[in-house]
Structure 1
């Protein structure tokens, strides 16, 4: 019964994220640059990835996201990492990003205002937008190998 409830919850959650196209936000990056999602995805398909330092699957996923970013950034793809840690953790977030050589932009969402716009329930949460601002793929959680499906979706949105 728990398994059926989990499946039902996942379907309801995923459909609520999918039904919300043209979600937008503006936030400041770790480099003190203002990023507006709609401006980013109007130029290139964009993956928004919600994560936190306390989330072990999130930390594992970051390496895979960086690999995908490096493969596809020159083909018109970008990633925005949305960190969910508290403001007290800013130095640790910066240290993690630096030590793990994360080169895509990271914005901070300590009050989960952005996360709420996506109807987020748990992290890691990845949402892929096309250039029209339509959500074309969403994924909750991370297990090794999940990046294979994500890469297929990236190729699809890039027209490869």
Structure 2
């Protein structure tokens, strides 16, 4: 025997309530999508790291030898290369010896190289010894990553070349061979000296390594 399904007939009052309920659900759905989109946009804006052309946020941090370094004071003397890192990051370990080379070529009175560590001072000092880093390393860990957050860091290493007017000339995330060469070229031009090759002919250096 085949069953026959009767189609229910809605009374006018029931039909009206049903229509109103569906309209309310549609409005709530549109509202929730709008709130989600706004929140996502704000989060993305908050997390966007500082890029070339932006003004670098000021900072003042202490180094491993307890000396205070202020960006505002340093840029009065010349450009600043600030490299954020974590000691456990393999790409940071790969990158920092090349930063040390750049420092030996172009560092000095008119150009300041800084490492900005997200680890404690003791572990960071060990990192500096192991990888032969001689330029000052500042500690951001004890400050709750205040400076790292100000720069909107999402990955390490992240390297900034900051000009004397506070403008970011180069913003580089991870290891990027071309970006490091650009930093060298900018500093050579600033110091009016010959551009020194950063990579040796016998070295096999990838174009980039994501941080």
Does TM-score exceed 0.5, indicating one fold? yes
Distance apart, 1:23 and its partner CA: 1.6
The structural deviation recorded for 1:32 is 0.5
Match status 1:52 vs 2:86: yes
Where 1:27 maps in the other structure, the secondary structure is strand
Counterpart in the other structure of 1:126? 159
Counterparts of residues 109-124 of structure 1 (less than 5 Å): 109-110=140-141, 111-124=144-157
Kindly report which structure 2 residues correspond to 1:6-155, keeping only aligned pairs within 5 A, or say none.
13=48, 16-18=50-52, 20-74=54-108, 76-85=110-119, 87=120, 90-110=121-141, 111-143=144-176, 146-155=179-188
Hey, what's the Cα distance between the residues in 1 that align with 2:122 and 2:109?
32
| Offset from partner CA, 1:88-130 (integer Å, 9 cap, x none) | xx32211121232211110011121101111111111001111
Partner SS, residue 137 of structure 1: strand
Unaligned stretches of 5+ residues in structure 2: 1-43, 194-211
Q: CA deviation at 1:143?
A: 4.7
In the superposition, relative to structure 1, how do residues 145 and 63 fare at CA in structure 2: closer, same or farther (>3 Å)?
Answer: farther
Give 1:69 deviation, angstroms. 0.3
Alpha-carbon distance between aligned partners in 2 of 1:115 and 1:156, rounded to the nearest angstrom: 29
The 1:143–1:58 alpha-carbon spacing in structure 2 relative to 1, beyond 3 Å, is same
Is the partner of 1:18 in helix, strand or coil? coil
Q: TM-score, normalised by structure 1?
A: 0.80
TM-score, L = length of structure 2? 0.62
SS in 1 for 2:153: coil
- Count of equivalent residues: 146
Distance 1:56 1:146, change over 3 A: farther
